[in-house]
A and B are shown apart, each in its own frame.
Chain A
Amino acid sequence: MTRSRSWFATIRGWARALLTRSAVEDDLSEEISFHLEMETEKYRRTGLAPEAARRAARIALGSVDGTREGHRDARGTRVLEDAIADTRYAARWLRRTPSFTVSAVLTLALGIGANVAIFSVVDAIILRPLPYPRPEQLLSLGSGSAGEFLALRERLRGFSQLGAYATQTHPIDDGRQALRIEGAAITTSVLSLLGVSPQLGRGFIEEDGIAGNNAVLLISDGLWKRQFGATPDVVGRGVLLEGVPHTIIGVMPPDFHFPSRTIEYWQPGVFNTADLGATWAIGDKSLVGRIAPGVTVEQAQRQVREVWPTLRKANPLWDPGESYRREVAPKPLQAEVIGASGRVVWLLFGCVLLVLLIGCVNVANLLLARATAREREFAVRAALGGGRGRLVRQLVTESLLISAIGSVLGVAIALLALRWLINAMPTDVPRAHEISVNGTVLAFTTLLTVITGVLFGVIPALRATTAVSGTTSMSSVGGGRRATHGIAHHRVSGALVAAEMALAVLLVIGATLLARSFSALRRVDPGFHPEQVIAARVSPPGASYNDPGRTSALYLAVLERMAGLPGVQRVSAVDKLPLAQSVWGISPRIQGQFEDATHSLPTIGHYQQVTPGYFATLDIPLKQGRVFTDADGADSPPVTVVTESVARRFWPSGGAIGHRVGYPWKSPWLTIVGVVADTKQDSLRDTVGASMYVPWQQRTRMSGNEMWVLARTSGDPVAIAAQIRAIVREVDRTVPVSDVRTMGAVLSASVQRARFTVMLVGAFAFAALLLGAIGIYGVMSYLVGQRTREMGIRLALGAPLGGVTRLVVGKAATLAAAGAVVGVVAAIFATRLLGSMLYEVSATDPLTFVLVPTALIGVALAASAVPARRATRVDPVRALRAE
């Protein structure tokens, strides 16, 4: 009780001291003046004259400042009040030196802004747990077939639930508009496993997963708002999916994007276990599980690795071999979601940290220069009793104030930059919609503010105040200067500039390697001519196009009308468009070489079904034999065209024509009638080159009805985009057209990740280069300014002008070269991390490692040339008088 009351008084005292600081000070002043009057009166009563009494009273009173200090100490808020006073002083000082303040604040604002923006990305994509309850229990098992999923569900005891999903795209028709949208077929367990329920309607129940009951859909919040006007009565509404009536049973919450953010509907996945082929042969399901309580992630992973290979015996169709599922690597669902984006994000984060570091070095250098100019101020303050600790604290407060202002501006910059960044991001970046400047990001910003403030503030503060504690104080107070002045300062500045150079060299080397990779990638010959070709995806709904004849008629009608459009030279269709989507491979039997399907078959990277005009449309050169013709119909002998890689691999002595290959299952042989040039299929980095083409009239049902129609035009292909849409709509209103793009756009979209990376890293490297040049310029200017007298003397004693220039430029060259060496060594280690991001460029590409440092040293010399010229213009007389 006593204790709490006295605590209360203490806290009230602090609060009053802080909140009503001036009132407390006024109180004290009034008390002291009252004291003085009473004292004066006392002396007057002893018979002194008023003036004398006043004097005596003042003498008796002693130092009022001491009282004030004691009073402040007694308030117990000394540290805080000092901080407030320091901040005020710092603010005043910053206002007085606007050019310094503006350059320091802007440098930091840009550096911090870039960091805040990129950290928001790191936070959303990598750090933030997935938006599901207990996300750490979610494990991605990898991909497998429905049969494997069902068998694993029986055997994996360490999981409370197991689910499977596969993404798909289907035409959806709500009666007004036919759309092709991406969705996922998920086992009914997936939603409960993730712990998510719809915002409207109901989720899937087990019965939905039974064939016949599964004509139900959940739709995304985005689709609901866009297509259904966010009306609540969407639940129960019917839509046509692949032409089949489905009922919408619910709307998922806005933040539900599983398995990726392009997914707009979910359908119960149904396994037809009677069809062994479909169950076991198609490994397109992704498996996900929730680990049972009490089981660790490691235990669950080990269980998967042990159990899955034992399913080799469970396969009723074939023996998948000794190596079956030896390589399964179950990993946390979060890691699966992050995927390949993690590397790029960390790379960008590393780059912005380096840029900020360079910014800090620049500001530190500015502060060092300022500190020398303020030496006299520090000496005076030290003489008046300001301790070194107190001075350092004052200086660090100044740096913290600079970094705080920089941070506030930086957050504003980050908010602007993020808007642009999210749009410029490759579309496959996961969780991009979650990127925001939130509490975590602001906490990071605060941390960054303090760290940068201390980073660039402490060294200059310590440097600036050593002089104070040394013997130079008196001469400093007197304003005297010595020629040797600030040698230690120069050493620190020089080291900082060299460090800055090293960081810039590191960053520019990395950026150059990425840029060289990117330009190598852009120079890759895809094997076809994308110019003046436009493509559009046509997706006939399965229910109304279940007859191959009808599907063929649709495409024939569309292609015929497209051929009639003005400027169109050639038209064709292909089931999988190169560089737009992954083109499946195939494991064929090869007559005379691999005939027995129970043994492991070779793999041909890509398998495409094309109309006869495909090769001509894309300008893929024919090397031997013939391409397909309209005569290669459904009932004519099966034929195929292979690429040169395939021909070389299986018939190295030439003469692939006439040989026969076959599908892995029991089916008639296909005769090779032609050999065409290799093309890039999955990406420009493709090294496979092996493709097998079959005429579309002889197609298997493997890839459904969807095809891309292509047209080569004599003019601008974009001109006919709208007409292609119109043609398909005229032929059949229920068939959606999507992704109408030129092949040039397809090509450039296929390198969007590389472009995005190289663009950002390049921008950061340029910033680093610029800051580095500014740093060298600043330090050299300062050095020349400081040594004006020395230069003057040298010139007066007859030193040649060239000598003085050499002195300045030589100094810059030494610093830059030292930094460049360190940067190159660091780059040798760091660029290895770029790994797979590089293309046809070694991580230690000699050209880059020589040219970049050389160029940067050149920039450094150029930056020092201006101050060097200034040095030669020093007027000896004025220089000597300046002291």
Chain B
Amino acid sequence: MPNDAPSDVLQGTLDMLILKTIDLEPMHGWGIAQRIQQMSRNALDVGQGSIYPALLRLENRGWVESDWATTENNRRAKYYRLTALGARQLRREADSWRKYSRAVELILAS
């Protein structure tokens, strides 16, 4: 049951990153992967092996919606869009991530 399964940290982080990426505009899978890579300045490399299962998981939770659409180059691609539910989830996850990373930072800095 996806809802009840405890998601490990990495997976949880990936979910949050995906939600953040499509917060601005709907995007297809490849685009999301590229954007994460760019925005993290290549620090994070999200392969297709993790992105598509993650997108399906998010969709099953009602956080994203998908639709087939045409790209600027006139190619069919599946676009993912954040739902209201997903937006709320993103805020929640971002908050707890900031708290968590601040705490870790404090410990490492001491």
A binding-site residues for B, Cβ under 8 Å: 2, 5-10, 12-14, 27-28, 30-32, 34-35, 37-39, 42, 60-64, 66-67, 70-71, 73-76
Known: A9-B59, A39-B30, A75-B56. A70 touches B78 (CB 8 A): no
Q: Can you report 20 residue pairs joining A to B where beta carbons are below 8 Å apart?
A: A2-B85, A5-B62, A6-B63, A7-B3, A9-B61, A10-B1, A10-B60, A10-B61, A10-B62, A12-B60, A28-B52, A30-B76, A31-B29, A31-B77, A62-B47, A63-B49, A67-B52, A70-B49, A74-B2, A74-B57
Contacts of A67 in B (CB 8 A): 48-49, 52-53
Minimum Cβ distance to chain B for residue A4 (Å): 10
Whether, in the assembled complex, B17 has its beta carbon less than 8 Å from a beta carbon of chain A, the answer is no
CB-CB contacts below 8 Å: B80-96 with A: 85, 88
Name the residue among B29, B60, B63, B77 with the largest chain A CB count within 10 angstroms: B60
Minimum Cβ distance to chain B for residue A44 (Å): 13
Is B75's CB under 8 angstroms from A13's CB?
Answer: no
Is B62's CB under 8 angstroms from A32's CB?
Answer: no
Is A76's CB under 8 angstroms from B52's CB?
Answer: no
By beta carbon, the residue of chain A nearest B75 is A34
Known: A7-B3, A31-B29. A13 touches B60 (CB 8 A): yes
Chain B: interface residue total (CB-CB under 8 A): 28
CB-CB contacts below 8 Å: B44-58 with A: 47-50, 52-54, 56-57
Is A34's CB under 8 angstroms from B49's CB?
Answer: no
Contacts of A73 in B (CB 8 A): 53
Of B34, B53, B63, B76, which is within 8 A of A71 by CB?
B53
Contacts of B28 in A (CB 8 A): 31, 34
Complex Cα distance, B48 from A30, in Å, reads 13
Contacts of A63 in B (CB 8 A): 49
Is B62's CB under 8 angstroms from A34's CB?
Answer: no
Is B60's CB under 8 angstroms from A34's CB?
Answer: no
Minimum Cβ distance to chain B for residue A668 (Å): 93
Minimum Cβ distance to chain B for residue A64 (Å): 8
Is A8's CB under 8 angstroms from B52's CB?
Answer: no
Complex Cα distance, B58 from A6, in Å, reads 10
B binding-site residues for A, Cβ under 8 Å: 1-3, 28-30, 33-34, 47-50, 52-54, 56-57, 59-63, 75-78, 85, 88
Of A2, A6, A13, A62, which is within 8 A of B49 by CB?
A62
Contacts of B62 in A (CB 8 A): 5-6, 8-10
Minimum Cβ distance to chain B for residue A53 (Å): 15
Complex Cα distance, B56 from A556, in Å, reads 98
Complex Cα distance, B48 from A73, in Å, reads 15
Is B47's CB under 8 angstroms from A70's CB?
Answer: no
Of B29, B56, B63, which is within 8 A of A74 by CB?
B56
Q: A2-B88, A7-B3, A70-B50 given. 19 additional CB < 8 A pairs?
A: A9-B59, A9-B61, A10-B3, A10-B60, A13-B56, A14-B60, A30-B78, A31-B52, A31-B78, A32-B52, A37-B75, A42-B34, A61-B48, A63-B49, A67-B49, A74-B56, A74-B57, A74-B60, A76-B1
Minimum Cβ distance to chain A for residue B88 (Å): 8
Complex Cα distance, B69 from A15, in Å, reads 23
Known: A30-B76, A34-B77. A70 touches B52 (CB 8 A): yes
Minimum Cβ distance to chain A for residue B68 (Å): 8
Minimum Cβ distance to chain B for residue A71 (Å): 5
Complex Cα distance, B62 from A2, in Å, reads 10
Contacts of A12 in B (CB 8 A): 60
Chain B interface, >50% SS class: helix
Minimum Cβ distance to chain B for residue A76 (Å): 5
Is B56's CB under 8 angstroms from A71's CB?
Answer: yes
Is A70's CB under 8 angstroms from B53's CB?
Answer: yes
By beta carbon, the residue of chain B nearest A27 is B78
Complex Cα distance, B52 from A5, in Å, reads 22
Complex Cα distance, B63 from A61, in Å, reads 26
Complex Cα distance, B5 from A75, in Å, reads 13
Complex Cα distance, B77 from A42, in Å, reads 16
Minimum Cβ distance to chain A for residue B84 (Å): 9
By beta carbon, the residue of chain A nearest B28 is A34
Contacts of B53 in A (CB 8 A): 67, 70-71, 73-74
By beta carbon, the residue of chain B nearest A72 is B53
Complex Cα distance, B33 from A35, in Å, reads 10
Is A75's CB under 8 angstroms from B60's CB?
Answer: yes
By beta carbon, the residue of chain B nearest A65 is B49
Minimum Cβ distance to chain A for residue B56 (Å): 4
Complex Cα distance, B52 from A611, in Å, reads 100
Is B48's CB under 8 angstroms from A35's CB?
Answer: yes
Contacts of A74 in B (CB 8 A): 2, 53-54, 56-57, 60
By beta carbon, the residue of chain A nearest B1 is A76
Minimum Cβ distance to chain B for residue A45 (Å): 12
Contacts of B49 in A (CB 8 A): 62-63, 66-67, 70
By beta carbon, the residue of chain A nearest B54 is A74
Complex Cα distance, B88 from A620, in Å, reads 103
Contacts of B29 in A (CB 8 A): 31, 34-35
Is B30's CB under 8 angstroms from A6's CB?
Answer: no
Is B2's CB under 8 angstroms from A71's CB?
Answer: no
The 5 closest A-B pairs by CB, nearest first: A9-B62, A13-B60, A70-B53, A74-B53, A38-B30
Contacts of A71 in B (CB 8 A): 52-53, 56
By beta carbon, the residue of chain B nearest A32 is B48
Contacts of A10 in B (CB 8 A): 1-3, 60-62
Complex Cα distance, B2 from A12, in Å, reads 13
Minimum Cβ distance to chain B for residue A215 (Å): 73
Contacts of A8 in B (CB 8 A): 62
Complex Cα distance, B52 from A28, in Å, reads 8
Contacts of B75 in A (CB 8 A): 34, 37
Complex Cα distance, B60 from A76, in Å, reads 9
Minimum Cβ distance to chain B for residue A767 (Å): 47
Contacts of A35 in B (CB 8 A): 29-30, 33, 48
Complex Cα distance, B48 from A61, in Å, reads 7
Contacts of B1 in A (CB 8 A): 10, 76
Complex Cα distance, B34 from A526, in Å, reads 101
Minimum Cβ distance to chain B for residue A600 (Å): 78
